[in-house]
A and B are shown apart, each in its own frame.
Chain A
């Protein structure tokens, strides 16, 4: 008797958190799955089955977002891994100004994304921007970074990398610092040089850190919205529209059902890409 009371008793402590979780997370999620299959005007709704999803996949101005989102996520997470790793290795070496450079690298992460977006939009102006003016002094003609539809998406991705590489670097530094000193000593005994140290010790043993960076920045890239919105609003035309910015535009236009369907699609896309990636990366992980 007393045992059963005790068992229930413990659950009471979970109740407050459970209620909050249900009201603010589970309930809206379930509702969004429902409303994605309706025609919805906030006050009135009608069930229309999968029509919103069909619209989303067939309309060219909507499904261009899938391609762009994948490109954006792959480019940003790829570059963040490469630069973050190189910076991490560099900042773990014996440098006098190590902590200063570390804070320099981390600094952009602290800035507001919108402010970064606006600042870079001004700097990337084709004729009056700082970047192209600098190139001009060096005798080069810079491209129209955000106006040329072929490179606009990559320009935004580069800014994203500039802003996000600090986090990746910090994760890599933590990973590299946790490699036990004995391995380096063993390498020295065997007469390995700096390259061997990098290739045979640091690279394989910072694998867990690398996996975290890949997963985090890939998911971040898939869901990215604020930087694109601050810099191009999906333009010129539709050339830099991501799934998230398209969803926002549908919401702005008052197509609430359609934009909810977009959110469900984004949720599925993120899970469908991120989950297998996570499993795959974890399988290859080496035990330290």
Chain B
């Protein structure tokens, strides 16, 4: 008798535990849908943990006040690890209502036709800058709205040191090298290298795209179609050579291989290093950590070999997409419309100082923007900008950071590096199944 009770009770226990596990799995999903139906509506948004949330949260708060719809943020890692999270969640049908993700080449890999809502014919899309729309267009359909300002890749420089040494902004590469020579003679680091974070090594090559396209306008298309290569297009190879030259002339800080991005920003802000090839999103980090130094920081485009060709390579902001399989597509559309309305943008700008102009037609920047941003505006007004290659072509080799590290630290020559990158690109294009490879 006792034995039987024992067996029975243990069976009961395990069944209860098992039930607990099973219900635990589905609990979270049930709860949110119930809440949404009964009380306030909720939209979920997946965003990477590298982006500062202040601006988007301000827009979300204003949106909640107006429409009584709450935005819930979920975070994911950035970089390639984050790409996998997004891809996996889309593939398993477990995606949030709104998705914050890169524009440009990366989004093509997400199969937007299957996963995102087509926004081409929405009236609010008229306000979005055409150059941005191009980067979220796949097969003629537009899928995203700009989530932040446009930024540029160029050479951040310390204005104070420039003044002290009597330097002027270089219009050609050789002028830049002369400036570097003078800075080196003055005992300061001419170019800051932060190779410990290897993504920063790509900047000289990537920011040269304006100059490449100015001389070979069809490079992006030919490159995508497997007709042009970095190693046999002289202008593109020049980008790698510029990187090589900076190292060979000894302009980098002594311990550039062990220096990381944060340390690089510190050097620039304190004037120990004078140039830092970087994206202007770094301005926010400088303003946050060295608020009294931000007015000393300026930016100029990576110069070409001719004074007539001088413009910025531009990085488009990340986009917000709507999950096609969401139960709240209508509410999500309301949110993206609000986001790019003047009201939404004002809420955004109340919390965030933009690192460049906004990708919305007619949007005005406040007067107290960073001085470096003011330096950028004339180039935008006169149309002297070109998107970075990754926004024009889905072809981007994953090993570029390692290859530019090798070229930028003298392990490989520019030519060898460019050749290796061409092979890396070929591998990527084949793995993605692009036509023509």
Contacts and interface: CB of A to CB of B under 8 A. Distances in A.
B431 A252 contact: no
Interface string B5-46: 000000000000000000000000000000000000000000
A250 to B, nearest CB: 8
B161 interface: no
A146 B431 CA distance: 32
A144 B412 CA distance: 19
Interface in A217-257: 233-239, 249-255, 257
Contacts of B399: 61, 238, 249
A237 B87 contact: no
Given A42-B87, A253-B428, A255-B427, A236 B409 contact: yes
A114 B67 CA distance: 46
Contacts of A148: 257
B33 to A, nearest CB: 25
B233 interface: no
A125 interface: yes
A60 B416 CA distance: 12
A53 interface: no
Given A59-B427, A236-B257, A237-B411, A254 B406 contact: no
Interface of B: 79-81, 83-84, 87-88, 91, 109, 111, 195, 198, 254-255, 257-258, 398-399, 402-403, 405-406, 409, 411-412, 420, 423-424, 427-428, 430-433
B83 A237 contact: no
A235 B427 contact: no
A235 B405 contact: yes
User: Which 6 residue pairs of A and B lie closest in terms of their CB atoms, listed nearest first?
Assistant: A147-B257, A253-B398, A252-B80, A237-B406, A255-B431, A126-B255
B266 to A, nearest CB: 12
B398 A236 contact: no
B405 A236 contact: yes
Given A55-B427, A255-B431, A257-B431, A235 B402 contact: yes
A112 interface: no
B80 A61 contact: no
Interface of A: 39, 41-43, 46, 55, 59-61, 124-127, 129, 144, 146-149, 233-239, 249-255, 257-258
Given A239-B411, A254-B84, A255-B431, A61 B91 contact: no
B255 A254 contact: no
A148 B87 CA distance: 36
Nearest to B404: A237
B91 A237 contact: no
B254 to A, nearest CB: 7
B406 A238 contact: yes
B101 to A, nearest CB: 14
23 contacts: A59-B424, A61-B402, A61-B403, A125-B258, A126-B257, A127-B255, A144-B255, A144-B257, A147-B258, A148-B257, A233-B198, A235-B195, A235-B198, A235-B405, A236-B198, A237-B409, A250-B398, A251-B84, A252-B80, A252-B81, A252-B398, A254-B431, A255-B427
A235 B257 CA distance: 10
A258 B433 CA distance: 13
B254 A127 contact: yes
Given A125-B258, A252-B398, A59 B423 contact: yes
B83 A254 contact: yes
B306 to A, nearest CB: 32
A276 B133 CA distance: 60
A149 B91 contact: no
B402 A43 contact: no
A64 to B, nearest CB: 10
Contacts of B87: 42, 254
Given A59-B427, A237-B403, 7 more contacts: A42-B91, A46-B433, A125-B255, A126-B258, A144-B255, A234-B402, A238-B406
A144 B405 CA distance: 16
B258 A144 contact: yes
Contacts of B195: 147, 235-236
B80 A237 contact: no
Q: Which of A59, A129, A237 has the most CB of B within 10 A?
A: A237
B204 to A, nearest CB: 16
Contacts of B88: 42
A255 B198 CA distance: 21
A127 to B, nearest CB: 5
Contacts of B257: 126, 144, 146-148, 236
Contacts of B402: 61, 234-235, 237-238
Nearest to B424: A61
A40 to B, nearest CB: 9
A253 B83 CA distance: 8
Nearest to A255: B431
